[in-house]
Amino acid sequence: MTNSTLSASAADPAALRDRYDRDGVVQVDAVLPVAETDVIRSAFMTQVEADRCAVGAVEEVAQDAVLARYPRFMNPHRRPDLEIGRLARTLMTDPRLLGLVTALVGPAYGAQSMFYFKPPSARGQALHQDNFFLRAHPETCIAAWIAVDACDAANGALRVVPGSHTMEIVCPEEADPGQSFTSGLVRAPAGLPVVQSEMRPGDVLFFHGSAVHGSLPNTTTDRFRRSLIFHYVPQSSTEIAGWYLPLVDPNGSDVDLAEATGGGPCGDTWTGAAH
């Protein structure tokens, strides 16, 4: 299935919230102008060519020549000394994004930033659930997935399972390493189709922390699938996994919550890849 069922207008916040509550995923087009995604792309490409280790998770793909050259960048918003860090922190609290997040889940804190380059021939990421990693409680996280390049099935655009947000967070199975650079796999619930997104630069896909989602490999020879992702948690959350602390208040200041304890649905000994 394609993404005709994913898009909704930001002009009616109540209808947007109804769609999110029903499906756990909603796409809002043209949240950022193309000129701005051009700036984002240029800044992150400059950084990865200059120093891919500064915020890049190189160690998780060290044996993968393609992804080791373009590792995903983790929490650039914590690096105010870098241009990408200042850019990510500013965008994380930008009213154009945070306003939509607030319409969907209420007042929220920023919890994580990530940038994926996904160059030609790169593996995808197996279906998974975000709150398995963030462990926000008693609320759940919400992702804002910003397309920096045009993306579709060919270059590994995101695939989502509308309606899967009502399932519990589960312990992942082992993913196919030939298809996914991460190790965990969560299967879509029976009867719920996996929907392939198609996005233009500046479109944003918002999805619930329990919603099952992932991507297939980039099968093109000349197209990146770059994306900037923010995760947020409602301000009514009382704890989150310690790796995501401190959180970011809408005013840009740091906020602390209690650190989540216990091992989650896999117990204390699970060693799957971090999100």
Whole-number pLDDT of residue 275: 63
The CATH classification of domain 3-255, taken from the options 2.60.120.620, 3.40.50.620, 3.40.50.2300, 2.170.190.11: 2.60.120.620
For 169-202, what is each residue's pLDDT tens digit?
999 999 999 999 999 999 999 999 999 999 999 9
Whole-number pLDDT of residue 172: 96
For 22-42, what is each residue's pLDDT tens digit?
999 999 999 999 999 999 999
Whole-number pLDDT of residue 271: 44
- Supply the pTM of this predicted model: 0.96
Where does residue 163 fall: left (phi above 0), alpha (psi -120 to 50 degrees), or beta otherwise? left
* Mean pLDDT computed over 227-253: 97
Whole-number pLDDT of residue 267: 83
Sequence-separated contacts (24+) of 47-53 with Cβ below 8 Å: 47/73, 47/82, 47/83, 47/84, 48/73, 48/117
Whole-number pLDDT of residue 212: 98
Quote the mean pLDDT of the chain: 95
Whole-number pLDDT of residue 207: 98
